[in-house]
Amino acid sequence: MMRPGPVAAPDRLETLDVLRGFALLGILAMNIRAMAAPFSAYMYPSALFDYTGASRAAYIFTSTVFDLKMMGLFSMLFGAGVLLYSAKPSESGRPPRGLWFRRMFWLLVIGLVHAYLIWDGDILVPYALCGILLLWWVRRFSAPTLFAAAVVMLTIGATISVALGFAWESMPESQRAQDAAMWMPTRVQAQEQLAQLLGSYPEVVAHRAGFVAMAQTFYFMFFFFWRVGGMMLLGMALFKWGFLDGRLPVGSYAVIAGICAPLGLALAWYGTVALERIGFAMPQRTIADVWNYVGSVFASVGYAAALIILVKRGVATGLRRRLAAVGQMAFTNYLFQSVVTSVLFLGWGLGLAGRFDYARQLLIVVVIWAVQLALSPIWLRHYRFGPAEWLWRSLTYGRRQPMRHEPSAPAVGMRA
């Protein structure tokens, strides 16, 4: 019997790596808002910057094209991952359940370190919790059952968000004021939040700890579990139907992309218009946000279909290979984005937080994209994994994984 181990390069699916690379790069276009400024600037565009001109255009563009779509796409891939993982051979011949839960445990540990010590917008902890609480237990469900469960979970998530909005007026005044400082702060409040990011490293870590704890408890229970978990189940259903790994005809992907992407983007754009109409104010925004909440599901599926067409048609070879390399090193590249932006923006680094409006933030995003697209293929010519992937796999399998390629093995080998 084969000993369980990481997927070898020739056995990787190019479609999944390309999708993962695209999602990883796209995530930065949204995360940069809360990296280059306080979290309130992520949701409330007038918190620190003038919401006019190029800055407004950049905010609308990223909200329409990237917001929730990249997290949705990545979540679908994560859901598909449990199906691939459970199909691995083991010494007992049974699904490697112990390995999966060790894998999720170490992802949780790394996520906690990332959230508390590097960046408070971490998504690894919610992914690990969903992997522990949900994914393994439903992996054998049929595709229709998984799809139905995904719809139910996503609906519950949207309903909770709207319900919290209706509960706004019944909140204690002190709680409402505290929430308003995050969702729609005054310029003075936003400047105070900015000052906290420009402190020393211990000061920044201490300031963020409360937000991190809330994100991993309250926000997880009322948002991430339903949204992220629902998209993971959708990804499992789509993988079982042959969608995510490219088994369907090109014509099917063309129809799906032609319907889902425009529909999703139209709904997301309308949601941004609705938010502008109400001035991004609570509690009305919880209802306006539903447009993007729903639209992003369609857009994520549409993006996936469009990218799979590129792979199946064999076009844009250079870009595809670079995206696949970024996706193969997604864990490393995700942490790289957090470390680089922390050094750039926080007080213990260069202290540039608050100096770049939404348009200028995108310039930094493009530079980081270029670096990761350039360096990821070079790294993978010499090494089997990114550094973070190597650490994660070594911890999961309980033994040090070989880092360099074997002399006879190709550096990067993929199949559609």
377, part of any domain: yes
Q: What is the pLDDT of residues 95-136, one digit of tens each?
A: 688 899 999 999 999 999 999 999 999 999 999 999 999 999
Q: What is the pLDDT of residues 188-222, one digit of tens each?
A: 999 999 999 999 999 999 999 999 999 999 999 99
Q: What is the pLDDT of residues 11-32, one digit of tens each?
A: 458 899 999 999 999 999 999 9
Taking Cα atoms as reference points, which of 331, 261, 309, 282 lies closest to residue 15? Answer: 309
Structurally, the chain folds into a number of domains equal to 1
Q: What is the pLDDT of residues 392-401, one digit of tens each?
A: 999 998 999 9
* pLDDT surpasses 70 at 350: yes
1, part of any domain: no
* Residue 301: C-alpha distances to residues 11, 146, 263 (Å): 24, 16, 11
2, part of any domain: no
331, part of any domain: yes
Range of the domain at 366: 9-415
Distance from the Cα of residue 205 to its chain's centroid: 22
3-state secondary structure of 237: helix
4, part of any domain: no
171, part of any domain: yes
316, part of any domain: yes
Token pair of 304, please?
């996936």
Q: What percent of the chain has pLDDT over 90?
A: 79
Average pLDDT over the chain, rounded to whole?
A: 91
* pLDDT surpasses 70 at 238: yes
Q: What is the pLDDT of residues 298-324, one digit of tens each?
A: 999 999 999 999 999 988 899 999 999
3, part of any domain: no
Distance from the Cα of residue 74 to its chain's centroid: 5
Distance CA(232)–CA(130), nearest Å, equals 9
